[in-house]
Amino acid sequence: MADDPQEPQKKNPWVQLGNYAQLAIVFPAATVIGWLIGSALDRWLHTTWLYIPGLLLGIVAGFVELVRTAMKDSS
């Protein structure tokens, strides 16, 4: 019998491992990039607090990618 379109196809475990390993790089990288942008803005604008919103935006970006990956794998 032909493959049923309703039946979910099983993903290769190596592909799933790669997708989750990507999060191990993306989450810290987004955090560090946000912090670096905030620090650069601090130096450019002669302030001392812009690194905090940059850090928070980087953390949020990392969580957004985490949720996207989790939602993609659950469907």
Candidate from 19-23, 53-57, 59-63 with smallest mean pLDDT: 19-23
| pTM, full prediction | 0.76
Helix and strand counts by DSSP (H, E) for the chain: 2, 0
Q: Count CA atoms within 13 Å of residue 44 on its CB side.
A: 8
Q: In the predicted model, is pLDDT for residue 7 greater than 90?
A: no
Predicted confidence at residue 3, as pLDDT, reads 55
Q: In the predicted model, is pLDDT for residue 74 greater than 80?
A: no
Grouping H, G, I as helix, E, B as strand and the rest as coil, residue 28 is helix
Grouping H, G, I as helix, E, B as strand and the rest as coil, residue 47 is coil
- Tokens 């957004």, located at residue: 64
For the CA atoms of 49, 42, 66, 72, the dihedral, rounded to the nearest 10 degrees, stands at: 130
